[in-house]
Structure 1
Amino acid sequence: MKLKILIYSFLSLLLFGGCGKEELTPAAEIPPLYTLPQGNHPYDKTIVDFYNTYGTYILYKFTDKDFRWNFNTNISFVAEQGDENYIEPALAALDKYLIKLYPTDFLKKALPYKIILSSRIRSVSTNGTVLDNYINAVSTSSHFAFGRAGSTLSTLTEAQLKTMKAELNREFWRQASAYGKIPMPPAFVAATSYNVVTAANRRTYGVFTVPNGSQNIYGDLVDYLYNIALQTPQEWEQTVFTTTNDPTGRFRFKYNSIINYYKEKYGLDLQSVSQNK
């Protein structure tokens, strides 16, 4: 009993002993990580307006950490600063091949904290060598990056632009789905046990790729969304839904589960994404 009284007295001192002191002032508001506009070009107003609409920063000036850091490690890519002479066409391409394809309310939910415009993104090999290649888009938990904010954008062929568009949409969806901003279709989630999928039987389970010998639900979903952006419904019929490629009908089932779910939940017409040029 005495122990209880002592404990009560001690807690009372902790709770009420500071009543005679001045009230604590609230902590200062944490300033934003980035400041817009980044420059004084006419296109900077477009970037500011985009932030005011969606709450997403578009950065063409960024640090290596801004681009590479992802939770607790660096991604295996490096990026060069956006070329300020080509930001305007890069913004136009971003709008044409991604932003205008989705409703505003959906974009407010799905867009990342920042979008990085880089003049060139390159892969980094496992031994640290920076490869001599061009990557259209990559993503992390906080951003997706567009790697054509430079002179190469105007040199791309129609076929290359089609691939660029599909990869841009893939990375947009990767960060939106893998990090919980947009829910996954329940029927798609239940359709595949990934622990039994191999490169040899992937068609049986409706899986496009088995990277490094295994696949997971997030990689599988973005594979579908990449191909939805790349191929029209008619092209799916001719390539993916054939008897040889889809012997169990699992590709068709999973495709329909994605199309129907996002149409019902968000009013998205994903089948039209590939048809917008």
Structure 2
Amino acid sequence: MKYLFIISCISGILLFSCKKDTAIGPPAPIGPDYVLPQGNAPAAANDKIQQLFNTYGSYFLYNFTQKDFEWVQSTGGGSSKIDTVVLGDPAYTSDMLAFLNDVWLKFLPEDFKKSQGIPYRVMMADTIKQYRGPGYPAGMEYNYWDYKVVGRAIAFAGMNSSLRTMTAAQKVAKRNLLIVPIWNYYTANKMLDIPAAFYNVSDYAAVAPTPPVNSTNPVNQAAFRARGFLPTSYNVVSDAPSEWYYGTYSWPNAKSNDISSFTLHILTRTDAQMEPYLAYPLIKQKFDILVNFYKTKYNIDVRAIANATY
């Protein structure tokens, strides 16, 4: 009886499986990720956002969710989960679009912008903040950021009334804060290369420089420059340079620090600011390699970015 029951079950399965399949029908259409226009921004701004999407396939968003802001393709680091975005007033959308064009987009050739030079999502926000944790006094509970890179998207803060009162110097300073992480986004996503010739100039296998390297030790600093190395950042108030080399423990990372410091300089330091450094032959050689490489291979004039005034 047991075997008869099993046979009858198999027969039943075969009987039903042989019935004519029910038509599935046409596939459901997949809608766009975002519907344009998004909201009540000025008509000219909505038209510009539509034009940018039609031309480059990129969404410039002023109305998005926290989930959009946090979205990444893979799970892993959860740092974005503690960041919060505050949407901007749509009235300033035109101002934000003009600002991003002036400090970024206008320097890129059309073919580069069309080949993912503009991220799929460019999120324009009032504020990007990160909770610092309990124990901080009122008004200091958050760190505030000018940008955040999330996967293949970049969020920019500052879409507010400050865009209409920004001085030329403030605009240059904001440009300098944004253009380096944008460039790092390009290199991290293999949209821009670093020329191998750059790494053939300075000797990273040689004995580490003599510490400390700073302005209070001019002999060591001059020797550091003579080996082809630049500062890694500048004080935003005094413009005093900060060196990446603090001692022999930092020497194993010389290559990555070297390209980071040169990226900063080719994109943010004017010709006048670069003049003292270019007196050192190895610095000038590496500087010229990078500038010529980006101009020749990508038709991007990095010095036009650094020298731009507003």
Q: Look up the match of 2:126.
A: 119
Question: Structure 2 vs 1, CA of residues 61 and 211 (structure 1 numbering), >3 Å: closer, same or farther?
Answer: farther
Provide the secondary structure at the position in 2 that maps to 1:271: helix
8 Å contact kept, 2:133–2:141: no
Q: Which runs of 5+ in 1 are unaligned?
A: 1-17, 244-248
What amino acid does structure 1 have at the position aligned with 2:53?
Y
Q: Look up the match of 1:81.
A: 87
Q: Look up the match of 1:13.
A: none
What amino acid does structure 2 have at the position aligned with 1:155?
T
Q: Look up the match of 1:151.
A: 161
Q: Look up the match of 2:39.
A: 39
Question: Structure 2 vs 1, CA of residues 189 and 139 (structure 1 numbering), >3 Å: closer, same or farther?
Answer: farther
- Could you tell me how far apart the structure 1 residues matched to 2:292 and 2:180 are? 18
- What displacement does 1:197 show? 7.7
- Could you tell me how far apart the structure 2 residues matched to 1:125 and 1:227 are? 31
Shifted more, 81-90 versus 116-125: the winner is 116-125
1:224 maps to which of 262, 267, 272: 262
Q: Look up the match of 1:10.
A: none
Provide the secondary structure at the position in 2 that maps to 1:86: helix
Query: Over alpha carbons, which structure has the higher Rg?
Result: 2
Superposed counterparts of 1:45-124, under 5 Å: 45-70=47-72, 71=74, 72=76, 73-75=78-80, 77-109=83-115, 110-124=117-131
Percent identity reads 28
Question: Structure 2 vs 1, CA of residues 222 and 87 (structure 1 numbering), >3 Å: closer, same or farther?
Answer: farther
- What displacement does 1:66 show? 2.2
Provide the secondary structure at the position in 2 that maps to 1:268: coil
What amino acid does structure 1 have at the position aligned with 2:124?
L
- What displacement does 1:50 show? 0.6
- Could you tell me how far apart the structure 2 residues matched to 1:126 and 1:187 are? 45
What amino acid does structure 1 have at the position aligned with 2:60?
I
Write out per-residue CA displacement over residues 163-206 of structure 1, whole angstroms, 9 at most, x where no aligned residue: 11122222221211111122222223556759x98985775462
Q: Which runs of 5+ in 2 are unaligned?
A: 1-17, 214-223, 233-243
Name the TM-score, length of structure 1 as normaliser: 0.74
Name the TM-score, length of structure 2 as normaliser: 0.67
Provide the secondary structure at the position in 1 that maps to 2:32: coil
Question: Are 2:273 and 1:241 aligned?
Answer: no
What amino acid does structure 1 have at the position aligned with 2:56?
Y
Provide the secondary structure at the position in 2 that maps to 1:78: strand
Shifted more, 85-94 versus 27-36: the winner is 27-36
- Could you tell me how far apart the structure 2 residues matched to 1:206 and 1:25 are? 65
Report the RMSD for the aligned CA atoms in angstroms. 3.7
Q: Look up the match of 1:262.
A: 294
Q: Look up the match of 2:219.
A: none
8 Å contact kept, 2:131–2:143: no
- Could you tell me how far apart the structure 1 residues matched to 2:208 and 2:22 are? 64
Question: Are 2:180 and 1:163 aligned?
Answer: no
| Matched residue count | 253
